Amino acid sequence: MTQPANTIPRAYDAGAVEERIYQDWWDSGYFVPRANPSRTPFCIVMPPPNVTGELHLGHALTASLQDALTRWHRMCGDPTLWLPGKDHAGIATQWVVERALAEEGTNRHDLGREAFEERVWQWVDLYGNTIDAQHRRLGASCDWSRLRFTLDQGPARAVRTTFVNLFEKGLIYRHERIINWCPRCATALSDLEVDYEERDGKLYYIRYPLANNPDDFVTVATTRPESMLGDTGVAVHPDDERYQGKVGQMVMLPIVGREIPVVGDTAIEMEFGTGALKVTPGHDVVDFEIGERHGLPIVNVIGFDGCMTDAAGPRYSGMERFATRSAVADELEQLGLLERVEDYHHSVGQCQRCSEVVEPLISLQWFLNVGTHTKPDSIAGRAHAAVVNGDIEIVPERFGRVYLNWLENIRDWCVSRQLWWGHRIPVWYCGDCGAFAAHVDDPDACASCGSPNIEQENDVLDTWFSSGLWPHSTLGWPDDASDDLDHFYPNSVLETGYDILFFWVARMIMLGIENTGDVPFRSVYLHGMVLDAEGQKMSKTRGNTLDPLDLLAQYGTDALRFALTTGTAPGNNLRLSTDKLESARNFANKIWNAARFVITAVEGRDDLAGWSDPITPQHREDRWIIGRLDALTVAVNERLAEFELGEAQQRLYDFIWNDFCDWYIEMAKVRLRSGDATAAATLVHVLERSLRLLHPFMPFVTEEIWQNLVARVPAPASGLPPSIMIAEYPQADSMRAAPDAESEMDVVMQTIRAVRNMRAQFRIPAGQKLEAAIETNGMQSVVEQESEAISVLARVEPLTVLHAAESENPAGVSLVVNPLVVRLPLTGIVDLDVESQRLGKELDDVRRNEARVQQLLANDNFVSKARPEVVEKERDRLQGLSEQRQRIEEIMAQLSA
RNA sequence: GGGCGGUUAGCUCAGAUGGUUAGAGCGUCUGCUUUACACGCAGAAGGCCGGGGGUUCGAGUCCCUCACCGCCCA
């Protein structure tokens, strides 16, 4: 691990260190929360991935963010728990296994329920640990000893307890109602599990003759003519003049020959089609509601298998629904009742899992009565209030409005699924007395009549019912004596993608409050979707997915994590490109090499004592970099507290690359060469603190460097922890702010930049030293003390420091870096005319600026209304500008003399 | 139909409570084996912050409006 400095590889090799480091962390028990009564516990539960899933970039993103937050809190000393878990993912997993069965030429019905469930468990045993291993490769510092599965005994008990409580309150009920049905999956779906897709279709205009006057008719428009077999009414808007006198009359339903009423309903859009809507309460949600309002009967013409039922009449009974569509259209055509057919683009609901067109139909299902947001005691009402009154903070804020909007339109949740994989609904029916009841523990006999002839409900619960309990079911609820529940509930943060705000986040809030009386978490942090370089959603069918494991291998884990979480704001989608990955990898390598330099430079020195806390450095450069470090420390902690991880990382990147590497290290080299030992301790200090600050985002490279570094420097009296991941997260020391060093170094750096600029402009080779003289104008000691740095970094030699009164021959170039004037002779390269022109242009710029600031300060409104410090800043600026102008004017006067 | 985003450098994106001359990465151009790093160093070019209106001493930032792109819900 610790090798001689000169054998540290020139490039950071992520693959060579990551596995070993992760193993060390885990073996050392760092992922398990450490008690600390004086600190607030921090807890995140991992959104449980599908148990048979494979890690994709969405997981990589969510894990990177959660791990960063977790590591930050852990380093801050908070008892920290990141609890991992997996979801049985009912319909998704069942679908995968059924597909495998289909390839073997069999199906679940041939197998039977028990054998099928066993088959799924085998599948879980085979693939269920894949994603855990993949999370470990990402560096996820979650406590694997607390790993939970939604079907584990604890969470299962939580599911049953919740169900029984709600059942006994009468909030879970069984009812026959119109629901979304997937004929292929043969199960009910919740509203959320239906995706709508725009498709090309037809709009059929069908004539329904009046019962008492077959010459007159009402024309209805529909995209689904097959459903007309189940029509039980026609609805028009009561104000629609075209249908005055029709409301209350009966029309004759073609083909079927049923008389159905024309009703008036204000929900009808007069502009759509003919303004007359055929009402099929059995197969359309809107129609179902219209039917309820007008007492229309329900006729089910489409069955669970997607074929027509006997109620569709002998001709169509048993026919597949889409075949029926064209057959019905043909028959209507023959009857002369098909007025016309138009092309029509409309959205069609399809099963989220298998893409089959969803059929709304009436079915006996279990529902959770969530109430409405206006009822403060209802489930929806309390979930609404929690966000309105700030018990839960949603980041970014705009998603709070989306959440509330959804709750304000919520309907009862259909929680039963006709699947075999999942939590079987804990209700038992009595074969003798017909009673049924919900039980936490399997009963032996009917609770009403005592008969042993009881049978459990066949349906299972919606997967989201169990994941909705996740923040408390994983911590031991409903066990009252659970320490974890006491410590870590409510969770601190729930971090997930905005795409499951309704599915999951809202359900957790509803069920968490219901079960515990408290919110499940204080904050919700929502991230965006990972898109490809073209901004397209990644999907297997599109073939544009990137495998995070490939990227890990190619760029390193830290680079992938950094690329995924930098340069993006909370809740915004992110395009991932190789550019970003390369840039992040280069950054890891940059730190690696900076560390390589520092380690080489300080190795074997005996003057490093106190490096860990150089509270009052003496040297200007040290005071400057430490002031910058402290400003960074404040900023990073603040940004993290606001969940602005991208900003925090941007600051770290800028500081490490620009301030530390490009300036401080380069200047420190000068001092080290000339025997000034004081730079060494600061180098170590700043590097070490930067590593700590960066560790939550780039855990591996920082650990590897840290180990290498601390092995070679004297340990502070207070000692050092064995790993950076349990080192203290830096907090700023306000005593170290150094505004004078900041402004002085600013002048020094500007001077160096100005000379470099001239060198580039006049093509002076890097190897060629330039003679220079600096008029110090009040900054004599600064220039003298920094003269070596200026000389080396700007490549000027000899460098003459002129006293304020001395004036130099203005031949050559004069650079005005207020208050300094740098004279570069540049004989033979720059003549008088060129220099006059250059200075003239500079003078114009300065004058323009000066005039603008003057104008601003002449504005009484500004001076009286702007904050005093803003006005003061402008005054300072004006002074600087006019000094600069005068200096340029003087030089120009000398030139023309 | 309702709601929410986005529109900033050639490309991809950051820009907290309004306050200098708006930033980064990549790309482009000029130089450079300067003994940590070419996954690098130095320098440079490139922006009426989508259009219009308003509030304000002051607007990329707040308000209104229009246009285009995208997402969610019905």
pLDDT in tens, A780-825: 889 899 999 999 999 998 888 887 556 656 678 888 888 888 888 8
Q: Which nucleotides of B are covered by protein (CB under 7 A)?
A: 3-6, 12-16, 19-21, 24-26, 30-34, 36-44, 56-58, 72-74
Measure A865 CA to B54 C1' (Å).
20
Q: What are A521's two structure tokens?
A: 């978490």
Q: What are A23's two structure tokens?
A: 């193993």
Q: Which nucleotide is nearest to A583 (CA to C1')?
A: B25
The bridge status of strand A460-461 relative to strand A416-417 is antiparallel
Measure A794 CA to B31 C1' (Å).
15
Cβ atoms of A428 and A456 within 8 Å: the answer is yes
Q: Which nucleotide is nearest to A853 (CA to C1')?
A: B20
| Residues A478-489, mean pLDDT to the nearest whole number | 86
Cβ atoms of A418 and A411 within 8 Å: the answer is no
Identify the residue with better confidence: A1 or A52.
A52
pLDDT band at A69 (very low <50, low <70, confident <90, very high): very high
Hunting for tokens 């969405």 — which residue is that? Answer: A58
Identify the residue with better confidence: A604 or A120.
A120
pLDDT band at A161 (very low <50, low <70, confident <90, very high): very high
Q: How many whole angstroms separate alpha carbon A609 and alpha carbon A714?
A: 6
Residue type, A734: S
Cβ atoms of A526 and A496 within 8 Å: the answer is yes
Q: Report pLDDT for A4.
A: 57
**3-class DSSP assignment, residue A825:** coil
Quote the pTM value.
0.88
Q: How many whole angstroms separate alpha carbon A466 and alpha carbon A88?
A: 9
pLDDT in tens, A215-264: 888 888 888 888 888 888 888 888 888 888 888 888 888 888 888 888 88
Q: How many whole angstroms separate alpha carbon A849 and alpha carbon A443?
A: 86
Other Cβ atoms closer than 10 A to A254: 22
Identify the residue with better confidence: A753 or A266.
A753
pLDDT band at A126 (very low <50, low <70, confident <90, very high): confident
pLDDT in tens, A42-56: 999 999 998 888 888
pLDDT in tens, A313-359: 888 888 888 888 888 888 888 888 888 888 877 778 888 777 888 88
Measure A397 CA to B53 C1' (Å).
28
Measure A644 CA to B17 C1' (Å).
16
Q: Which nucleotide is nearest to A597 (CA to C1')?
A: B36
Q: Report pLDDT for A144.
A: 95
Query: Cα Rg for chain A, rounded, in angstroms?
Result: 37
Q: Which nucleotide is nearest to A873 (CA to C1')?
A: B20
C-alpha distance from residue A222 to each of A203, A228, A337, A425 (Å) = 6, 9, 13, 38
Q: Report pLDDT for A734.
A: 65
pLDDT band at A277 (very low <50, low <70, confident <90, very high): confident
Measure A193 CA to B27 C1' (Å).
43
Residue A360 CB lies within 7 Å of the nucleic strand B: no
Q: How many whole angstroms separate alpha carbon A832 and alpha carbon A894?
A: 11
Q: What is the DSSP letter of A222?
A: E
Q: Which nucleotide is nearest to A397 (CA to C1')?
A: B4
Measure A847 CA to B43 C1' (Å).
26
| pLDDT of A2 over the 60 cut | no
Phi-psi region of A492 (alpha: psi -120 to 50; beta: other; left: phi over 0): alpha
pLDDT band at A146 (very low <50, low <70, confident <90, very high): very high
Measure A563 CA to B11 C1' (Å).
17
Other Cβ atoms closer than 10 A to A161: 18
Measure A792 CA to B34 C1' (Å).
10
Percent with pLDDT over 90 in chain A: 35
| pLDDT of A149 over the 60 cut | yes
Total residue count of chain A as it appears in this document: 897
Q: How many whole angstroms separate alpha carbon A536 and alpha carbon A805?
A: 66
Q: How many whole angstroms separate alpha carbon A258 and alpha carbon A255?
A: 8
Q: How far is CA A145 from the centre of its chain?
A: 26
Residue A530 CB lies within 7 Å of the nucleic strand B: no
Measure A329 CA to B53 C1' (Å).
55
Measure A533 CA to B33 C1' (Å).
35
Measure A200 CA to B48 C1' (Å).
44
Nearest residue to A500 via CA among A43, A49, A44: A49
Q: What are A248's two structure tokens?
A: 């209350």
Least confident of A195-199, A329-333, A428-432: A195-199
Residue A206 CB lies within 7 Å of the nucleic strand B: no
Q: How many whole angstroms separate alpha carbon A230 and alpha carbon A478?
A: 47
pLDDT in tens, A366-379: 999 999 888 889 99
Identify the residue with better confidence: A275 or A360.
A360
Q: Which nucleotide is nearest to A871 (CA to C1')?
A: B19
C-alpha distance from residue A703 to each of A551, A832, A874 (Å) = 21, 57, 45
Buried b or exposed e, range A741-777, using 16+ CB within 10 angstroms: beebbebbbebbebbeebbeeeebeeeeebebbbbbb
pLDDT in tens, A633-675: 988 998 899 888 988 999 999 999 999 999 999 999 999 888 8
Percent with pLDDT over 70 in chain A: 98
Hits for CB < 7 Å against strand B across A residues 551-590:
567-569, 572-573, 575, 577, 579-580, 582-583, 585-586, 588-590
Measure A809 CA to B64 C1' (Å).
61
The bridge status of strand A250-253 relative to strand A148-149 is unpaired
| Residues A538-542, mean pLDDT to the nearest whole number | 73
pLDDT band at A414 (very low <50, low <70, confident <90, very high): confident
| Residues A853-863, mean pLDDT to the nearest whole number | 85
Q: Report pLDDT for A499.
A: 87
Residue A838 CB lies within 7 Å of the nucleic strand B: no
3-state DSSP percent of chain A in helix, strand and coil, to 5: 45, 20, 35
Least confident of A92-101, A398-407, A730-739: A730-739
Q: Report pLDDT for A6.
A: 62
E strands present in A275-370: 276-279, 338-351, 359-368
Measure A468 CA to B38 C1' (Å).
52
| Residues A575-604, mean pLDDT to the nearest whole number | 90
Spell out the residues 6+ positions from residue A323 whose beta carbon is closer than 8 angstroms to its own.
none
Long-range CB contacts for residues A298-302, cutoff 8 Å, separation at least 24: A298/A232, A298/A362, A299/A229, A299/A230, A299/A231, A299/A232, A300/A230, A300/A361, A300/A362, A301/A226, A301/A227, A301/A229, A301/A230, A302/A226, A302/A227, A302/A230, A302/A359, A302/A361
Phi and psi, residue A31, nearest 5°: -85, -10
For residue A868, cis peptide bond before it (omega within 30 degrees of 0): no
Q: Which residue is nearest to nucleotide B73 (CA to C1')?
A: A406
Q: How many whole angstroms separate alpha carbon A688 and alpha carbon A672?
A: 19
pLDDT band at A123 (very low <50, low <70, confident <90, very high): confident
Phi-psi region of A610 (alpha: psi -120 to 50; beta: other; left: phi over 0): left
Residue A402 CB lies within 7 Å of the nucleic strand B: yes
Hits for CB < 7 Å against strand B across A residues 746-775:
753, 756-757, 759-761, 763, 765-767
Hits for CB < 7 Å against strand B across A residues 437-476:
none
Q: How many whole angstroms separate alpha carbon A76 and alpha carbon A71?
A: 8
Q: How many whole angstroms separate alpha carbon A745 and alpha carbon A650?
A: 23
Identify the residue with better confidence: A692 or A566.
A692
Cβ atoms of A803 and A852 within 8 Å: the answer is no
Q: Report pLDDT for A892.
A: 86
pLDDT in tens, A485-500: 888 999 999 999 888 8
Summary mean pLDDT of chain A: 87
**3-class DSSP assignment, residue A651:** helix
For the packed helices A57-75 and A557-565, what is the interaxial angle rounded to 10 degrees? 90
pLDDT band at A30 (very low <50, low <70, confident <90, very high): very high
Q: What are A172's two structure tokens?
A: 């879970």
Which uninterrupted H or E stretch holds A101?
A: helix A90-103
Rounded to 5°, the CA angle A712-A717-A721 comes to: 65
Residue type, A753: R
Measure A742 CA to B56 C1' (Å).
33
| pLDDT of A63 over the 90 cut | yes
- Torsion angle in degrees (nearest 10) through CA of A501, A502, A507, A509: 50
| pLDDT of A1 over the 50 cut | no
Q: How many whole angstroms separate alpha carbon A784 and alpha carbon A792?
A: 14
